[in-house]
Amino acid sequence: MTELVTFFFVALSAVFFVVDPIGVVPIFLAITSNDAPDKIRQMARRACVTGYFILMTFAIFGGVIFKIFGISLGAFRVAGGLLLMLTALDMLRAKRAGTRTSPEETEESARKEDVALVPLAMPLLAGPGSIASVMVLMSQGNTRSLLFAVPVLLAVTITFVAAYYILRAASLVQRVLGQSGVAILERVMGLILAAIAVQFVADGARDLLRTP
């Protein structure tokens, strides 16, 4: 039971920090600056629902992808860890992660009527890093017991419920935290995410070395 609870907190930390809804707040405010409050809430809801189903799909069917492409769990752990490390390094420098969206994409999004699906749901909330994270976590859990899939699915659910309320109150979050507060939180989350990324790589390397 203790191992299950520990795994849940690892999964929640990894998923929440890589989805990083707090870091999405400034971008969300920028691309919805000309929209009415009702439309902003609607876009936040649609983005979170879409992002949630994207991650849940990859979490549940990620094993099938491994089999189709003949990818070993060890190789994917290393790849996922390296991708998370890139995101973590950007967070430590309070810099927008290049693996999620580029400045040009953000500028283009500000001119769109509806940004809920692109870029909010994908790639800001459900980007390559978060997809890799849930697939690795699910694979790690399934090597122990199917019961370990529950903490990962619960972590994804909690993350997107929190993301919805954070984005819905984006203006308040920005006012309360300020630019400095957001940057400090980004760095703290980046440090924890970097440690999780190193663990992913270490576990993957160990698996690959054991493979005959």
Structural contact between residues 78 and 200, judged by C-beta atoms closer than 8 angstroms: yes
What is the reported pLDDT for 42?
93
pLDDT band at residue 72 under the 50/70/90 scheme:
confident
- What's the CA gap between 95 and 196, in Å, rounded? 19
Tell me the C-alpha distance between 69 and 29, whole Å: 39
What pTM was computed for the model? 0.83
Non-local CB neighbours of 202 within 8 Å, separated by 6+ positions? 81
What's residue 142's pLDDT? 64
Round to whole Å and give the CA distance between 129 and 157. 17
Mean of the per-residue pLDDT values of the chain: 84
Rounded distance between C-alpha atoms, residue 64 and residue 58, angstroms = 9
Q: What is residue 152's predicted lDDT score, i.e. its pLDDT? A: 94
Asked if 26 and 183 touch (Cβ cutoff 8 Å), the reply is no
